[in-house]
Amino acid sequence: MTKKLEEEFNLPPIDEAIKSETPVIEETKNEIVKVADALSVSEKINMAFREVKGLEEHESELNDIASKAIESYESLMDLGMNVSDMAAGKVFAEASNMLKIALEASDSKTKAKLQQIDLMIKKARLDKQTGEGTGHDSEGQKLFDRNELLKIINKNDK
């Protein structure tokens, strides 16, 4: 049966496929390093999000909205299947609106995270460019007050 499947799907013999796809130890180590680097970056981003107040509440509220919208979609689809053809169109239209609401809630959550990352990158770039600050926090990062940031921004605009 294996030969027939190989012929049907134009696959190489199983022995050749096994030999050619066995990774070398060094390739595996390189992949492990890449994955570990990616995980460390994502852990850093998650740690930075913990410092942002209100983001978790916003995320949980949007998750609630999305889950309720999906539940409403499912119940409207069931209802649409059980009503007359004339009334089903409106029911299905509202069901699609519920899916749109769920999608917008998920998009909003993602946009909030991306905006926060963008602000963190801009702040880091500004810190690097100015080299100034009033002090450092417990992690060794520079701290600025509002007036100093405004002066730096106005200086860069001129």
Residue pLDDT, tens place only, 82-96: 888 888 888 888 888
Split at pLDDT 50, 70, 90, the class of 158 is low
Residue 55: pLDDT above 80?
no
Q: Does residue 31 belong to any structural domain of this protein?
A: yes
Q: Does residue 97 belong to any structural domain of this protein?
A: no
36-40, 59-63, 118-122, 130-134 — which is least confidently predicted?
Answer: 130-134
Q: Does residue 82 belong to any structural domain of this protein?
A: no
Split at pLDDT 50, 70, 90, the class of 133 is very low
Percent of the chain past pLDDT 70, that is, above it, reads: 73
Burial 77-93 (b: 16+ CB within 10 A, else e): eeebeeeeeeeeeebbe
The mean per-residue pLDDT over the stretch 18-23 comes to 61
Report yes or no: 70 and 98 within 8 Å, Cβ to Cβ: yes
pTM of the model: 0.43
Q: Does residue 34 belong to any structural domain of this protein?
A: yes
pLDDT of residue 3: 77
Q: Does residue 131 belong to any structural domain of this protein?
A: no
The mean per-residue pLDDT over the stretch 139-145 comes to 63
- For residue 30, give its domain range: 1-51
Residue 153 phi, psi dihedral angles, 5° rounding: -65, -45
Q: Does residue 20 belong to any structural domain of this protein?
A: yes
Enter the tokens of residue 58: 């916003």
Residue with the bigger pLDDT between 81 and 148: it is 81
Enter the tokens of residue 15: 């022995």
What's the total number of domains in the chain? 1
Q: How many CB atoms lie within 10 A of CB 70?
A: 16
Taking the C-alpha atoms of residue 54 and residue 44, their distance in angstroms, rounded to an integer, is 18
Q: Does residue 30 belong to any structural domain of this protein?
A: yes
Secondary structure letter of residue 134 according to DSSP: S
Percent of the chain past pLDDT 90, that is, above it, reads: 1
Residue 142 phi, psi dihedral angles, 5° rounding: -70, 145
Residue 139: pLDDT above 70?
no
Q: Does residue 148 belong to any structural domain of this protein?
A: no
Taking the C-alpha atoms of residue 84 and residue 102, their distance in angstroms, rounded to an integer, is 27
